[in-house]
Amino acid sequence: MPAYLSRYGADFTLAAGVPKVIDLPINGARDWRFVLRNTGSNAVTAMTIARYPLGASEQGEDPTAVTDDIPLAAAASLPITGTSEPITTLRVVLTSTSGTTVRIAGGGW
């Protein structure tokens, strides 16, 4: 198994109707996989992702809406993956109309 360049796990509370910005550290890993799990009781109703080659404080791509498996129901999970994408940061923005909690965990190699 290859050594991880990036390892990350954190819990977040999504306030009702308020987008939550989460920067995932990819740290230049070429292949990465994170799992978003809805740990609350309400759905995650919107999600966007944006890739940042040099970090979130630098120029990144425009956010792209994720529509597959969204809304994400309570207790459901969604993989967030990249293959041959050696970026520094992946920005994920999550929204829950009614509010919920989520956990994101994963890494890259």
Rounded mean pLDDT of 4-30?
A: 96
Token pair recorded at residue 20: 């939550």
Q: In whole numbers, what is the pLDDT of the chain averaged over residues?
A: 95
Token pair recorded at residue 57: 């404080």
Cα gap 26→47, rounded to integer Å: 18
Rounded mean pLDDT of 9-24?
A: 98
- pLDDT computed for residue 2 by the predictor: 62
Kindly report the pTM of this predicted structure: 0.95
Buried-exposed string 59-70: b where 16+ CB fall within 10 A, e elsewhere? ebeeeeebeeeb
- Confidence bin at 5 (pLDDT 50/70/90): confident
